Amino acid sequence: MHSFILALDAWRNEKGHFPKKVYWQIDGGSENANKSVLALCEYLVAKTPIEEIVLTRLPVHVFTIVTK
């Protein structure tokens, strides 16, 4: 969540405002998909000009195989 907040802050500092719609993709681990994440989304929509947050989860245990 800390990285997400830092990214939003960087956006606001660069553009001068919050985006109206935010896309947030998290990995599927339970440490990332919990009540705290949902509470942060709800708080940001209630207390900032952000109107919508689209939260999506990646499947658990996604690995990329790199071959030459």
| Per-residue pLDDT tens digits of the chain, which is 68 residues long | 899 999 999 999 999 999 999 999 888 777 777 889 999 999 999 999 999 999 988 876 656 666 65
0.85 exceeded by pTM: no
Instruction: Report CA-CA distances (Å) from 3 to 27, 43, 61.
Output: 14, 16, 21
Rounded to whole angstroms, the Cα distance separating 9 from 66 reads: 34
Domain-wise residue ranges, the chain:
2-57
Rounded to whole angstroms, the Cα distance separating 65 from 21 reads: 33
Rounded to whole angstroms, the Cα distance separating 24 from 19 reads: 12
Predicted confidence at residue 27, as pLDDT, reads 81
Cβ neighbours of residue 14 closer than 8 Å, sequence gap 6 or more: none
Longest CA–CA separation in the chain, Å: 49
Predicted confidence at residue 54, as pLDDT, reads 95
